[in-house]
Amino acid sequence: MTFFLAVSILFLDQLTKFIITKTLSLNQSIPIIKGVFHLTLIHNRGAAFGILKNQIPLFISTSIVAIILIYFHLKSPQHRKFSIYSISLSLILAGGIGNFIDRAFFGYVIDFLDFRVWPVFNVADSAITVGAILLGWSICFQKSVK
């Protein structure tokens, strides 16, 4: 079940990026809710918030390691059950793969969700963020996440 979640999020991430790149030109912005939420196509050559720009080999290598570790961890028998912990890792896995695909094929991450008070991001970034929050919660408040 957790792999279905990861594949679904990955598909949504790649589909939205494909649609945005076919609809908008670089740095073009379309207001959805004027001044609050826009669709703005940018190419992020860094990590979160654009830090460490142009460090593609670093991002690709760390992504590969993280993806492999999370995949094998989720594949282990004790984590095949559906839990907050496995959901969190599935979200992080999907987001990591989504942004890895961008970096590997384009040399940058396609970002487009623009709330004007936060750096522009994408579905993969959202999955990683929600996954990290759920992971922290599950580690702090669940009895066992072995």
Catalytic residues: 111, 125
Query: Which amino acid belongs to residue 46?
Result: G
41, 24 Cβ separation under 8 angstroms: yes
**Burial grade of 145 (CB within 10 A; 0-12, 13-18, 19 or more):** middle
CB-based contact 56:107 (threshold 8 Å):
yes
